[in-house]
Amino acid sequence: MNVKRQLPILCSLIVAVAIACSAQDANLEKVLDSMDRMSQSFRSVQADFVWDQFTKVVNETDKQSGAIYFRRAGKDEIEMAADVKAPAPKYVLFNKGTVKLYEPSIDRVTEYNVNKNADFQSFLVLGFGGSGHGMLKNFDVKYGGAENVMGVNAAKLILTPKQQKVQNMFSQIILWIDPARGISVQQQFLSPDGDYRLAKYNNIVPDKNIPDSVFKIKTTGKTQVVKP
């Protein structure tokens, strides 16, 4: 008798869970479709940023702020430049498979060749020109609901890397996507050791004609170049 009485309740719970999962899937598809549309028409975007880098072992947060720029440089290539204003001026440039870090205080450029790392650009363009459904190749993606981020009713996407080598770097990546524009307004990269980087973006301007000079490092005649 107890089983018979409980059966309708169990059936109702199963139906409720199925409906909730279906709604989540539908919401996820809407966000991924929005990101796909943004990716197909993407030319450029610029924004102001605040990066919070939390280091668990010392329980400290390092804050950096400045402006960031993305633009399509070819069919499958995107360039990025980050002009860090505070706490110390730095300039970060990614193009043609190379990351360059310029530190004016010591007049040094450090170059990193990431051309062999096929995953690098996929991380770089998450929420900034990258395809929504394209993420499914490298990540399990779940819809985490809607959250207000700096006045935007953003869709929260929870990404879990499929490859072990990526999991060793990031146990989880969380994106907050403006569903109307398919652009990221906030990102969080979480490491297995408890460290994380939280990035917030505002004053986002898509399809702006960004000068070529933005994607060049302004060095001096005495600038030291280091290639570790």
**Residue recorded with tokens 């600038």:** 223
| Region 96-125 average pLDDT | 84
Q: Are 83 and 91 in contact (CB under 8 A)?
A: yes
Structural domain count, the chain: 1
Q: What is the pLDDT of residues 176-194, one digit of tens each?
A: 999 999 999 999 999 999 9
How far does the chain reach from its first CA to its final CA, in angstroms?
A: 73
Bridge partners (DSSP) of residue 92 are 82, 101
**40-44, 123-127, 179-183, 207-211: lowest mean pLDDT where?**
123-127
pLDDT computed for residue 8 by the predictor? 58
Going through 114-195 in order, the beta strands assigned E by DSSP cover 139-149, 152-161, 172-178, 183-190
Question: What confidence tier does 123 reach under pLDDT thresholds 50, 70, 90?
Answer: confident
CA distances from 79 to 94, 164, 189 (A): 6, 27, 21
Question: What confidence tier does 1 reach under pLDDT thresholds 50, 70, 90?
Answer: very low
pLDDT computed for residue 207 by the predictor? 86
Specify the higher pLDDT residue, 2 or 32.
32
Question: What confidence tier does 221 reach under pLDDT thresholds 50, 70, 90?
Answer: confident
**Separation of alpha carbons 129 and 110, rounded Å:** 26
Would you state the structure tokens that stand for residue 144, as one six-digit string? 């985490």
| Region 163-176 average pLDDT | 91
| Region 114-122 average pLDDT | 67
| Region 97-120 average pLDDT | 86
Q: What is the pLDDT of residues 158-168, one digit of tens each?
A: 999 998 888 88
CATH number of the domain that 150 lies in?
A: 2.50.20.10
Question: What confidence tier does 80 reach under pLDDT thresholds 50, 70, 90?
Answer: very high
| Region 172-178 average pLDDT | 96
Pairing of strands 77-86, 90-95: antiparallel
pLDDT computed for residue 4 by the predictor? 56
Sheet with 224-226, edge to edge strand ranges: 139-149, 152-161, 172-178, 183-190, 196-206, 44-55, 60-74, 77-86, 90-95, 98-103, 108-113, 224-226
Range of the domain at 26: 2-226
Question: What confidence tier does 129 reach under pLDDT thresholds 50, 70, 90?
Answer: confident
Question: What confidence tier does 119 reach under pLDDT thresholds 50, 70, 90?
Answer: low
Specify the higher pLDDT residue, 172 or 22.
172
Q: What pTM was estimated for this model as a whole?
A: 0.85
